[in-house]
Structure 1
Amino acid sequence: MSTNKPLFSDFETISSKQWKQQIQYELKGADYNETLVWESPEGIKVKPFYHHDEVEESNSNFAINSPKETFKILQNIFVHDVKKSNERAINTLNRGAENIRFTIENETISIESLMQNLPLEKTTYYFYLPFLSIDFVSKLKDFAAKNQAKFIIQIDPIGQLCKDGNWFENLENDFEKLNTISKFQIPTININTGIYQNAGANIVQQLAYTLAHANEYFNRIPAINQPITIEVSVGTNYFFEIAKLRALRLLFSTLAKEYNHNFDCHIIATPTKRNKTLYDYNVNMLRTTTECMSAILGGANAIANLPYDALYHKDNEFGDRISRNQLLVLKHESYFDKVSNPADGAYYIENLTQQLAEKALELFKDIEKNGGLITQLIEGNIQKKIQESAAKEQDLFDSGKEVLLGTNKYPNKNDQMKNDLELYPFVKQNPRKTLIVPIIEKRLAEKLEQERLALE
C-alpha cells in the first residue's frame, strides 16, 4: 500500500444532494424541513448535516485570528484581606492556576503587599476595578513597569452603567478619566458582556451589544494603543457558544480596522450563571465543564471557571479546587491545548459563525443608526429587547421545553437547601434613583427554587 495515497480515496465522493435524497427516503414521506430542521432563538435554521459543497464562497476564505498561545487557567480572588489574598494567590498558582484576577474595591490597599512573593515574569495578573481612579491605576502601572510584571486592568464605565444604572460619576467625568488612563502603557479598557448573557439576551444580541459597547469606546477615546479585554459568559448551547466566540473575534477585528486599532481582543470566558441551579447543585459541574470546553474551542485567551457552589456558598477552598481541576483535566488530560483553532474546517461551526456574525452586524448597524449603545440604554430599548428574549427563554423553561436536570426535570424531592445558604441566590431588590433602568441578571430556576425553599 502506497504511503502517498490520500486517505479514503477508495470511497466514492457523495454530494450533499445525494445525502439529502437518502435522508428523505429514510423519512418515509415525512417532511425533511419540518422533521429535521430546527430554528434557534436567534432565528438560525439548523440543518441535520453540513457538507463541503454547500459551503458558501464567503465562508471558504473564513479566517479567525486565533490566540497565538493556549488558554490560561484564571483564578478569581476577591481582595478583602490583603495578606490572605496574597497567600491564596501563591497557593493557587502552586496548585495549577496560571493567571490571577484580583477584584479590588478599596483603592487604599497596598499593591506591594498584595504582590509580595508572587511570580511576575510568566504570570499575567488581572485587576478588576469597580471604581474609577487615575491615581490607583497609576500605582499599578508604576509597579508593573518597575517589576517587569504583566498587568491587565479591567475598567468598564459602560458596564457600570448597565449593571448599576448609574455612571461612576457621570458620562463626561468617567470618559475624561478613562481617556487619561488609556494613555498609560498598560491594557485598561474592559468590556463586560457577561451581563447581557446572564440577563437573558440571545447570542445575536450579545454579539451586537458587545460590538456597540466597543464602538462607544473607540468613538470616545481617540487612540487606544493597548488590547481591549472582553469578558464573555458562556452558555450551554455547545456548538453555538463555540461559534459565538469565533464570531466575536471576527466582528471585533472588522470594527477595530475602521479605527486603525491593530490589536486582537483579549477574551476572558466564564460559564454563565443563568442555567445554574441551587438544587442538585452537582449538575452545575457538568454544565461548567461543557461551557469551558466551548470557551476553549472558541478561542478564549483565559478561562475563569465558576465553582459549582458559587450561587449559595462564599468563596471556599473546595469549590475553587474543583473548578480549577476541571480546567486542569481539560488541558492536561484531555489535551484541549494541543491544537490551534480546532474548530477550523468544521462546516457546521463555520456556518453558525458566519450566520451569527451577519445577524449581529445587522443589529449593530441598527443600534448605531439610532444613536449608539449609550443612547439606546438611556432610552431603555436595550433593556426591553433583553427582557423580551429572557421572557421567551423563561417560558421554555417553565413549560419544560428547556430542561435543567434536577430542577424542572427529575428533581430530587428530598433535596434540602435552606440550611446551606451562605449567600442570597436570587435577584436582590435595591430600589433607588438611577439614570437608566439597570440590566438585571436573573437565573432561569429562581422562581421554582423559591417555591421549593418555602415548602421546606
Structure 2
Amino acid sequence: MANLFKEFDAVSAKAWKQKIQADLRGADYNQTLVWESLEGIKIAPFYHLDNLKQLPVKLEPRPYAICEHIRISDEKKARDEAQKALVDGANALLFSADKPFNASALLLDLPKEKNGKKIELQFNLSFLNKDFFKSLIKQLMGYNYSLNIDVIGRLAATGNWFENQEKDYKIVEDILKKADKNANTLGVNVALYQNAGANAVQQVAYALGHGNMYLDYFNINAIQFQFAAGSNYFFEIAKLRAFRYLWSLLLKEYGFKPKTRLFVSPGTRNKTALDPYVNMLRTTSECMSAVLGGADIIANRPYDAFLNKAHDFGQRIANNQLLILIEESGFNPGNNFADGSYYLETLTTQIAEKALELFNHIEDNGGFLKQLLSGTIQRKINESAAKEQQLFDDEKLVLVGTNKYTKGAEIPDDFTSASAQNDKENRKTIIEPVIPKRLSEKVERELFLKMKQ
C-alpha cells in the first residue's frame, strides 16, 4: 500500500505545542488544557511520538469469556439458571453462596464444554470449609474451574478472618494440595478496593501487595485477580494493562510464573438507584474498557442489581451488552485494539510507575497484610474516596440523572430498599473493614427521607 502521508511534513511535539499556545491567545497552557486526575497524573491535551512513554514489554492480546453470576439458594434453581445462561450466550458461570450446598445436584447434567471449548466455572464462596472444598473439587473433575479463595480479602471485607490467620492459611494449604494444578484456587478481590473508593494507582499497588502475600506463603500454579471497572474509560484500560506488566515483573523476581487471569466486572461505586436505566450505558463502556484492558473473563452487572430485586430483563440486557460488543461491534476476543495509542501507552506507564512506587512503599513498611492490620490501607482508601465524593457533591464529577440532568429521572418502586441497602449491623471486628460505598447514596437517602415526610 502506498504511503498516504508522504506528501505531508511531519510535525514535532514542540511545533504542535507552539501552535496550541498561539491559538490560546495568551491563556496559560497548563491551567487551560492540562488537568490532574485523582491519582495525581497530569493529562495533556495531546500526545506525540516524540515524548512517548511506553512499557518495555508488549502485552499480548487474549481471548475473553462472557460470564453470568448465579447465586445459589436452591441447587436446582441455580442449575436451571446456569443452563439458561449458557443458551443465552455465556461461556463461563460464576456461582456464589453463603453456606455449603449440594455440589452434585448443582452440577447435574451441566455440560463441561460449549462449542468445543471448556466452560469456565467460577466460585465466590463466603465460607471456608475444608471438607466441603475437598468434596467440591472431586465433583469438579473434568471441569475448568476457579475457587477464588481469598482469606486476606475476607479479612479486608469483613474485618475478621474466617477463623484466624494460622488456621485459615492451613486450610488453604490443604485445599491447594487437592485442587487441580491448573485451577485458580486462590483469588485476589481487588474489586473491593475500587468499590470502596480506591483510585487506579492504589488498586494496582494493592493488587500487587495482596497477591504478593500469597506468592510469599503458598506454592501456587495459578491465581485470579478480580477487578472492578469504573467510569474513567481510558484510566480503566490503562489500569489493567499496568497491572499485567507489574505483575509479570514481580513474578520474575520469584523465578516462577503461575498462570494469572483477570476477572473483571463493572464496579458499583458509580451506579445509581435513581434513573437506573443509565446504568446500562455505564456498564457498556466499562465492559469495553475491560476488553481493551486485557480481561480474561468479563461478568457484566445488570443495570438494576442495586435495587435488591432480581429481574430477568436486567440480566438478559447485561448478557446482550457483551454479545453486541463481540458480534456487532467487532470487539472480538484475541485482538489488542489498544496498541498504538500514544495516550494509552503513556497513561499505562504513568499508572505503572506510580503503582510500583506505592507497592515498594508498602513492602518497605512490612507488607500489605501489616498495612491492612494497622489500618493504613483503609485510611488511604477513605482519603481517596472522600476526595471523589466531594467532587460528586460539588457536581464536578457528574453522574447523569443523579447530580446533574435530573429532570425526568425515574424513581423506581423499590427505591426504599436501595436507599437502605448499605446500613451495616454492628459487629465485633479485629480491623476496620473496607466498605464499598456508592457515590449517590447520600442523594438517594435525602430523597428517600423527603418521600417519607
TM over 0.5, yes or no?
Answer: yes
Change (3 A) 1:339 1:137: closer
- The answer to whether the 8 A contact 2:55-2:349 is kept is no
Q: What per-residue deviation string (whole Å, max 9, x for no partner) do you get for residues 52-81 of structure 1? A: 12124xx263422442xx211100000001
| Corresponding residue number in structure 2 for 1:92 | 85
CA deviation after TM superposition for structure 1 residue 136, in Å = 2.1
Aligned equivalent of 1:163? 157
1:27 matched to 2:24? The reply is: yes
Count of residues in Structure 1 that have an aligned counterpart in Structure 2: 444
CA 261–31 in structure 1, closer or farther in 2 if over 3 Å, else same: same
For residues 370-381 of structure 1, the aligned pairs below 5 Å read: 370-381=365-376
1:124 and 2:116 correspond: no
Identify the range of structure 1 (93-102 vs 174-183) with the bigger mean alpha-carbon deviation: 174-183
Q: Is the 8 A contact 2:273 2:306 kept in 1?
A: yes
| Mapping 1:189-204, distance limit 5 Å | 189-204=186-201
1:279 paired with 2:274, answer yes
Of all paired residues, the percent bearing the same amino acid is 48
User: Does the CA contact (< 8 Å) of 2:202 and 2:358 recur in 1?
Assistant: yes
Which deviations, in whole Å up to 9, do the C-alpha atoms of 1:101-146 show, x marking residues without a partner?
1112222x2222111222103211111121112222222322233x
Q: What amino acid does structure 2 have at the position aligned with 1:8?
A: F
The answer to whether the aligner puts 1:143 opposite 2:162 as a matched pair is no
SS in 2 for 1:151: strand
Q: 1:228 aligns with which of 216, 223, 227?
A: 223
Provide the aligned C-alpha RMSD in A: 1.6
Residues in 2 aligned to 1:31 and 1:414: alpha-carbon distance in whole angstroms? 39
Write out aligned runs for 1:224-263 (5 A): 224-225=220-221, 227-263=222-258
Separation of aligned partners in 2, 1:22 and 1:322: 46
AA aligned to 1:139 is S
Residue aligning to 2:106: 114
Distance 1:113 1:357, change over 3 A: same
369 and 202 in structure 1: CA distance in 2 versus 1, 3 angstrom threshold:
same
Shift of 1:193: 0.6
Per-residue CA deviation, residues 177-232 of structure 1 (Å, 9 max, x unaligned), is 112222332320000011100111111111111110001111121x212x211000
Distance change >3 Å, CA 78–CA 338, structure 1 → 2: closer
Q: Match for 1:437: what amino acid?
A: E
Q: What residue ranges of structure 2 are gaps of 5+ in the alignment?
A: none
**Structure-to-structure mapping, 1:213-224, within 5 angstroms:** 213-221=210-218, 223-224=219-220
Report the alpha carbon displacement of residue 152 of structure 1 after superposing the two structures with TM: 1.1
| 2:432 is equivalent to residue 437 of structure 1 | yes
Distance 2:410 2:33 in 1: 38
- 1:180 partner amino acid: D
The TM-score with structure 2 as length reference comes to 0.95
Whether contact under 8 Å (2:57, 2:245) holds in the other structure is: no
Deviation sequence 1:216-261 (CA, Å, 0-9, x none): 111121x212x21100010000000000000111111111222233
* Contact 1:314/1:422 (<8 A) preserved: no
Q: Secondary structure at the match of 2:184?
A: coil
Aligned residue in 2 for 1:18? 15
CA shift, 1:421, in A, is 4.6
Map of 2:6 onto structure 1: 9
**Displacement, 1:314?**
2.3
Paired amino acid for 1:141? I
Is contact 1:126-1:152 (8 Å) kept? yes
Which residue identity is paired with 2:32? T
Deviations 1:269-313 (A, max 9, x none): 111110111111111111111111100100101111111001114
Q: Against the structure 1 CA distance between its residues 65 and 418, is the aligned structure 2 distance closer, same or farther, given a 3 Å change threshold?
A: same
- 1:298-313 equivalences under 5 Å are 298-313=293-308
Write the deviation string for residues 392-431 of structure 1: whole angstroms up to 9, x where unpaired: 1111011111111111112136743354555565422221
Q: 1:339: how far off?
A: 5.6
Structure 1 residue runs of 5 or longer lacking an equivalent are none
1:75 corresponds to which of 65, 68, 76: 68
What is the CA–CA distance in structure 1 between the aligned matches of 2:413 and 2:420, rounded to whole Å? 11
CA contact (8 A) 2:153 2:188 kept: yes
Q: How far did residue 17 of structure 1 move?
A: 1.2
2:152 corresponds to 1:173: no
2:337 — aligned with what? 342
Q: Distance in 1 between matches of 2:258 and 2:336?
A: 18
Amino acid of the structure 2 residue aligned with 1:37: V
* Runs (4+) off by over 6 Å: none
1:208 alignment partner, one of 192, 205, 208: 205
- Comparing 82-91 and 183-192, the one that deviates more: 183-192
* C-alpha contact 1:314 1:423 (8 A) present in aligned 2: no
Query: TM-score under structure 1 normalisation?
Result: 0.94
